[in-house]
Structure 1
Amino acid sequence: MARITGGTLVRGEPERVLQSVNPGYWQSICHNQLFLVNRLVSWNKQMEALKNNPPAAIILPNELPLPPLPTRVAVIRVPRASSAVWRLALWNWKQMKVPVIGITGSTGKSTTTTMVDAILKQTHRVVRTHGNLNTFFYLPTYLLRLSPADDILLLEMGMSSLHNIARQCQVVRPHVGVVTNVGEAHVGSLGGLDQVVRAKQEMIDGVRPGGILFLNADCSRSQQLSTRHFQGTICKFGIDQPADIQGEELQYTKEGMRFYARVEGRRLPFRIPLFGEHNVSNALAAIGVVRSLGVPFPAIQRGLARMRPLHMRFQVIQGRQRRTLINDAWNASPSAMQEGLSVLKKIAGNQPAIAVLGDMHELGQYSRFAHTQIGKQAASLNLDGLITFGSQAKAIASAAIANGLDSRQVTHFTNRRALIRFLSQAPENAILYFKASRKLHFERIVQRLT
């Protein structure tokens, strides 16, 4: 370990065997691990965790003092902790020969990743992305987790800037690549929709020669992606437009969606415990991915039916007074909010449909237009209630009224407590849909109503 990380063993037995590497997660230290001190986390928290549960060894940057740990804990000194992590991750990656699946997209990449994982884990050992830790910065975490027993590396590839996906692909070179769609997410930070297209193009350019690429036939901006130089197989999934994996006869049920998929000359039924056509699109992408790995159709049907919905992604919760709360507040982009409102209206039926919408961030100059478009859609759906919160979301309320939604059905709030009091008086049996950017923490509002 000292040699691989470019460090010096200053204490400990050189022949001691280590069973795993902990890249700085102080909450989950094990006695047989090599723990890498994380410079981005509180030193005091790490010291307390190391004292309470000493690992087998630690990697310590030269500038930090040697902590008062038992002498049995080996110590490797390194010039830079970040370099040590990457050197060790790349060394481990070179020992592995596993297929890599890379999934990106403005919306749906987490859900698609979860669907693929739910199918594969029935018969494979999968190392996959967790939460929103999906940028180049976190890639070493997953490379370090790989062991000879693992079969597949499943990566959700997000990006905080241009070249982020490209840098991930330069390291792992996916065998299978997916672009779920190209939308407005991060348009503000990237500087325009053309830059979003450029960012997603990095996945196409990053798939290894001879690989397989899955693209959304229904997404107009995905048509701007260039496949001219792609050296592999291109497969399209879609519902409205002709595709290699075609979704048909979509049906809303109490448990989620039922649909047929026409794939490889066969027409097969599937069901998912999620609502919305956009989630059927995600499922079609997942079907294509796992079929490219040889997974039989019965296993795909079981995996999709049994998948567990992601936390705060159209999560259906029983609220007080027989109200249904839909927590879709993990994050928000215009296309995702539009999809959510359409689903709300479809599943509400005769029950009151109430949308609780907050600011959508990272839209830059596109922000005013995007919030106004959401207001127009709310008016066209004739929602029973539209509640908005936040300085930018006020444009949603104004646009809804301007486009014909009864002003008595629209309320804007700037105070969270007042908003919660108002929502607690919502009609019994109502369906309340919550959507906003992550920084607004709408999940706390949902918790107060359950």
Structure 2
Amino acid sequence: MKKFFLEDLQNIINGNILNWNTNRPVELFVEQPDKPLLNCLYYLFDGCDDEDKLLKKLVECGATGVIIKAPHRLNIYKWKKFKIGVIEVEHLTESYLELAKVFRSQFNIPIIQVIGSSGKTTTKDMIGAVLNAGIPTLVGYNNYNAPSGVAYNLFSIRKYHRAAVLEVGMKGRGIMSLSSEMVKPNIGVLTSIQRAHLVSLGSIENIIEAKAEIFDYLDEAGLLIINGEDENCINFPIGRYKGKVLKYGFSDKFDLWASNIKYKNFKSYFRANGPGIEIDCILNTVGKYNIANALAAILVGLQLGLRKEDIKRGLSNFEPSSGRLKIYDGIKGTVLINDNFNANPDSTRQLLQEIPYFTDDKPLMLVLGDMERPDEEVRQYAKEVHFSIGEQLAQIKFDSLIAIGKWAKEYVRGAMSKGVPQSKMVYFETVEKAEKYFKSSIIPGSVIVFKASVYVPIRHLIRSLGVEY
């Protein structure tokens, strides 16, 4: 690991050195409230409420110093006494991102950057499961995909890692560039292009352009992996990239494709096929789109030279994280499927298409919340997409629908327009108003699917059944 000294830090960040009465180098960068580490520079993003307590903690851990936003309120005499350095900066986040670029540059390991409108976290975790079956790999924490989260994950790379996989998100122009410049990926993975940011960016074309900013930083001697089945990924401007491009899907026109797909006991069984490749895989989740995510992970594993046995074992070790098609045993013999993390209209459509294949003819209950923010400025768009999802519901054999949220009434209206009896559906404005009805209406032995965006916290309904996740 590179040792950073005061002169190195001065060259990277524009800071005011308040104290550096220490000969310790900086090897790690840690942000509050994470635990300080030996020879770390500790970022005080939340300021300092208890200076003495913090100083004690830093001394015990052998930290080198802290970075704090100007104007500071520290007693610098105390920090000199305990030989803990203090640097004051005007722009705390900017300095954090600049340091992340330099920290990343010391690692000559393949770094995989996962982008897309949905499926990023699941794909990142699948890639991590596959690679860790063969080589020590850093897997980015949770869904930390904003620039500061990307920096946090880069700072988590250690000298024993032989690869790293991170997800990168974007909510507008310039964000993908900001993160990709830090990551400088060797392999890029594009999972999907959907309408998740349509309101802010205005069109699918603008969303594509915002994601295509990765090309400015993706290693030209590397690899771009694309979901060939996604109708918008097809329009991704791969002509700008001089490196290798591989596509995955469900037919032999792709570089890697899945066949022999079966679902049993909420697991997926499939065969991954390619030139000279056959891998029979088991995945601890369901849905065709998750099999697609697994294909991306397999391609990364093959690119980095993993054995087929390791790839197969790695995929079988994958466990979905909370809120992403996570399955729990519920009361009255029910099966609960929690898929409400960062839900959006298109990911909901994908789930509805797959539900009939893995419910095994059990009664089906749907608990659906809003998929767009409850702002009046998006009223027309929100009503249209929720009504459209309601129309799609008419194609599914379900026993009851509980619709919750500002726009969720459109689910009911859309389904009724296609002939679904109103008696099978009920609408509530809030989760609190829905809870009593939900618990009293549970069908014994049913599969209960929960899907909503962050704007409707239907996780409370799952917890009301005594399920912790």
CA distance in 1, matches of 2:228, 2:358: 26
Q: Which runs of 5+ in 2 are unaligned?
A: none
> What residue is the counterpart of 2:71 in the other structure?
63
Match of residue 29, structure 1, among 36, 41, 50: 36
> What residue is the counterpart of 2:275 in the other structure?
264
Match of residue 422, structure 2, among 404, 407, 428: 407
Q: Which runs of 5+ in 1 are unaligned?
A: none
CA distance in 2, matches of 1:49, 1:373: 55
Give the TM-score normalised by the residue count of structure 1.
0.92
Give the TM-score normalised by the residue count of structure 2.
0.89
1:161 corresponds to 2:169: no
**Contact between 1:29 and 1:54, CA under 8 Å: does it hold in 2?**
yes
1:303 corresponds to 2:314: yes
Q: CA deviation at 1:114?
A: 0.3
CA distance in 2, matches of 1:234, 1:58: 43
Aligned residue pairs, count: 446
> What is the percentage of aligned positions where both structures have the same residue?
24
> What residue is the counterpart of 2:438 in the other structure?
423
Q: CA deviation at 1:242?
A: 2.1
> What residue is the counterpart of 1:103 in the other structure?
114
1:324 corresponds to 2:332: no
Deviations 1:140-168 (A, max 9, x none): 22332233322223121111212211222
CA distance in 1, matches of 2:120, 2:350: 15
- Seen in structure 2, the aligned counterparts of structure 1 residues 49 and 27 have a Cα distance that, compared at 3 Å, is farther
Match of residue 77, structure 1, among 62, 73, 87: 87
Deviations 1:94-114 (A, max 9, x none): 322121211111111111100
- Seen in structure 2, the aligned counterparts of structure 1 residues 52 and 350 have a Cα distance that, compared at 3 Å, is farther
> What residue is the counterpart of 1:16 in the other structure?
24
CA distance in 2, matches of 1:13, 1:20: 19
Q: CA deviation at 1:361?
A: 1.6
**Contact between 1:4 and 1:87, CA under 8 Å: does it hold in 2?**
no
Match of residue 362, structure 2, among 325, 333, 351: 351
CA distance in 2, matches of 1:241, 1:219: 16
CA distance in 2, matches of 1:79, 1:204: 32
Match of residue 293, structure 2, among 265, 268, 282: 282
- Seen in structure 2, the aligned counterparts of structure 1 residues 137 and 253 have a Cα distance that, compared at 3 Å, is same
Q: CA deviation at 1:171?
A: 3.2
> What residue is the counterpart of 1:113 in the other structure?
124
Q: CA deviation at 1:345?
A: 2.8
**Contact between 1:217 and 1:238, CA under 8 Å: does it hold in 2?**
yes
**Contact between 2:97 and 2:148, CA under 8 Å: does it hold in 1?**
no
**Contact between 1:209 and 1:230, CA under 8 Å: does it hold in 2?**
yes
> What residue is the counterpart of 2:246 in the other structure?
235
- Seen in structure 2, the aligned counterparts of structure 1 residues 229 and 193 have a Cα distance that, compared at 3 Å, is closer
CA distance in 2, matches of 1:269, 1:123: 18
- Seen in structure 2, the aligned counterparts of structure 1 residues 417 and 9 have a Cα distance that, compared at 3 Å, is closer
Question: 1:374 is aligned with what amino acid?
Answer: I
Segment of structure 1 superposing worse, 49-58 or 243-252: 49-58
Question: 1:444 is aligned with what amino acid?
Answer: H
Match of residue 377, structure 1, among 392, 399, 404: 392
**Contact between 2:104 and 2:182, CA under 8 Å: does it hold in 1?**
no
Matched residue of 2:220: which SS? coil
Q: CA deviation at 1:292?
A: 0.8
Deviations 1:61-110 (A, max 9, x none): 34111158663251222333334323432332232212121111111111
- Seen in structure 2, the aligned counterparts of structure 1 residues 171 and 247 have a Cα distance that, compared at 3 Å, is same
Question: 1:370 is aligned with what amino acid?
Answer: V
Segment of structure 1 superposing worse, 432-441 or 134-143: 134-143
> What residue is the counterpart of 1:249 in the other structure?
260
Deviations 1:150-198 (A, max 9, x none): 2223121111212211222233322111111111111112212222222
Segment of structure 1 superposing worse, 173-182 or 132-141: 132-141
> What residue is the counterpart of 1:439 in the other structure?
455
Q: CA deviation at 1:370?
A: 1.4
Question: 1:37 is aligned with what amino acid?
Answer: L
Q: CA deviation at 1:204?
A: 4.3
Segment of structure 1 superposing worse, 188-197 or 404-413: 188-197
> What residue is the counterpart of 1:91 in the other structure?
102
- Seen in structure 2, the aligned counterparts of structure 1 residues 67 and 354 have a Cα distance that, compared at 3 Å, is farther
